[in-house]
Structure 1
Amino acid sequence: SRENGWVVETKGYGIAKVNGTKALPSTRNITPLTHATNLFDILATGLLISNESLSLRISWDTKIASLVPEWELMDPVASYESTIGDIMSHRTGLPPYDFILQDGTVAEVIERLRYLKPSTGFRELWQYNNHMYSLPSYFPPLLAEIPFETYVQKFILAPLGMDTMTYYSKAAEESGHLADGFGRDGVNQTEDVFGRGQVRAYPFWAPNEGKPGHVISGAGGVISNAKDMATWLQTLLEEGRNPINGETVIPAEVIRRVSSGITVASPVA
């Protein structure tokens, strides 16, 4: 389609269901986006930073210890000095520790961080840690008294017309358009990396019946389709403006800030 100077092509390809159902050409099939979720988390924080009406103002340099009462790390320096920018840049000293909690609340994860041993010093090394993306989803209820999922829906998705995206797997399943995740049993990948094996559908990796504040929401909870993601990509390229009407949804300075490098992930020339 041609929209406000943009030529946008979206289409569904491949197999959507383990029973052989093909993907809908209308792009209505929805699928988990896992790490593509992180940017919604960060930009929601950027909106809070830009919101001058909040009684408690924050910045990218706000220390987590001054904002989140439950926050504590094993390293006292990282515990006291870590800022919003630090946690989003993965330089607290904590390695992944991915599976300390797959179901539960963000508050429960925060309470457990103090027991995790760092593997490097504070601000010494980039180490991806999902929990540092769960943590910012705690900010909207803390600062604006709105659940994170509702905050993203109200201030990002609705203004952009992204009406399919959800954080709730139950809603995705009830839509009838949730694509299966596929696995193959009985394949020895040492002998044949392309072996077909027995195809099966994986159960949804992070079920959420519709309760806000889920630990996965900020770090990997987005479920969406090609149409909404095309709109999202256009919005990022337009530095936060709605690609249809040109209205600012996310301030350009927020887009520029989060797309600027802070931590060197792989120091190789």
Structure 2
Amino acid sequence: MTNTSASVTDTALQGLPEVIEAIRDEWNVPGLATAVVKDGQVILSQGFGKRSIVGNLDATDQTLFAIGSSSKAFTAMAIAMLVDEGLVNWDTPIKHYLPTFKLYDPIATEQTTVIDLLAHRTGLPRYDLGWYNASLSRKDLFERLQYLEPNKKFREVWQYQNLMYMTAGYLIEALTGQTWEEFVQQRIFTPLGMTTSNFTPKDSQQTSDFALPYREVKEEVQQMEFYDRFQAVGPAGSINSSVQEMCKWLQCLLNKGKYGETSLVSEAQFAQLIAPHMVIPPSNRRLRNNWKPFITIMAWVGA
């Protein structure tokens, strides 16, 4: 077990760190951090294992990790804030705000709303190879959406779609004059005191506590290069943060958009963020039998 910034303060959690450590060892994970928030208070915040194997550096609750698609919840919150300000409406077609918005399906082009983007229901499959490892800009990707053929009818089924969250980020820039990164930094990170959270691996490496990336090759954990071409689709998954700072975000969500005396969003718009909008179908027997709670959580946070 490694560095602890907040020890277990609830007797119901006694033994949990040992369980986490055993699972980490079983799954061959070099390092991780986790936290528990109860009744608005952090009752566990702790790092496990190593953030650097070669450097023998412990993971702590201040270690920066890529949070991946949990970034999407920040994008959705940003949109809700703009709804509060009257700059966008959940149910107004995107084309009203971005006249050049165009999808392969003409019906989707005319009718796609912000909720459609965030609820993964435009009819498009993932198309991740369209942006992965590419040097295209956010604008480039936005302009190429029209060539991506859907495999389902508009609003017919839930299909995970990173490019639609990219589009939501692009919309934020069009409405505010700020990039998605600037908006999230100024309007979410700063009010919540998320001072080390950032948007690029380069920024993480400028800090004193960040996790190195690893992958498993033939059951051997090997260090790999940071993936640094995420910026075009940043609104879908580029945030790096620590468990300590994510606790502030979690406390804000548990308090319906408020953190201390700071209110990021009205309760009415927060209710929209957590309202069900699309059923997530199980993709296979394993999901259907073993991962129902995970599916529910994913739906709740908009990931």
Percent identical: 28
Map Cα deviations across residues 166-209 of structure 1 (whole Å, 9 max, x no partner). 01221111113220121133x1xxxxxxx3x3x3212112347x
Partner SS state of residue 223, structure 2? strand
Which of 30, 44, 49 aligns to 1:14? It is 49
- Over 3 Å counting, the alpha-carbon distance change for 1:91 and 1:7 in structure 2 is closer
Give the 3-state SS of the residue equivalent to 1:206 in structure 2. Answer: coil
Counterpart for residue 18 of structure 2: none
Q: Which has a greater percent of strand?
A: 2
Task: Kindly provide the amino acid, as one letter, of the partner of residue 78 in structure 1.
Answer: A
Q: What is the match of residue 96 of structure 2?
A: 66
Partner SS state of residue 49, structure 2: coil
| Cα-to-partner distance string for 1:202-224 (whole Å, 9 max, x where unaligned) | 2112347xxxxx31310111000
**How many pairs does the alignment contain?**
247
Alpha-carbon distance in 1 for matches of 2:145, 2:78: 23
Larger relative contact order (Cα-Cα within 8 Å, sequence gap ≥ 6): 1
Q: Does 1:23 align with 2:58?
A: yes
Aligned residue for 1:82?
112
Name the residue aligned to 2:27: none
Sort the Cα spacing of 1:18 and 1:238 in 2 relative to 1 into closer, same or farther, 3 A.
same
Q: 1:70 to 1:202 in 2, by over 3 A?
A: farther
Name the amino acid aligned to 2:56. Answer: T
Q: How far off is 1:68 after superposition?
A: 1.4
RMSD: 2.2
> Match of 1:47, as an amino acid?
M
Unpaired runs of at least 5, structure 1: 188-194, 209-213
The aligned counterpart of 2:239 is: 222
| Structure-2 separation of matches of 1:215 and 1:64 | 19
**Aligned mates of 1:204, 1:251 — CA distance in 2:** 37
Higher helix share: 2
Q: CA deviation at 1:113?
A: 0.9
Cα distance in 1 for residues equivalent to 2:127 and 2:59: 37
1:144 maps to 2:176: yes
Mapped partners of 1:224, 1:6: distance in 2:
19
Shift of 1:248: 1.2
Structure-2 separation of matches of 1:10 and 1:173: 22
Q: Normalising to structure 1: TM-score of the pair?
A: 0.85
Correspondence for 1:192: none
| Cα pair 2:40 2:254 within 8 Å, conserved | no
Aligned to 1:236: 253
SS at match of 1:175: coil
In the TM superposition, 1:1-269 aligns within 5 A as: 6-25=41-60, 27-52=61-86, 57-102=87-132, 103-185=135-217, 187=218, 195=219, 197=220, 199-207=221-229, 214-242=231-259, 245-266=260-281
Deviation at 1:8, TM superposition (A): 3.5
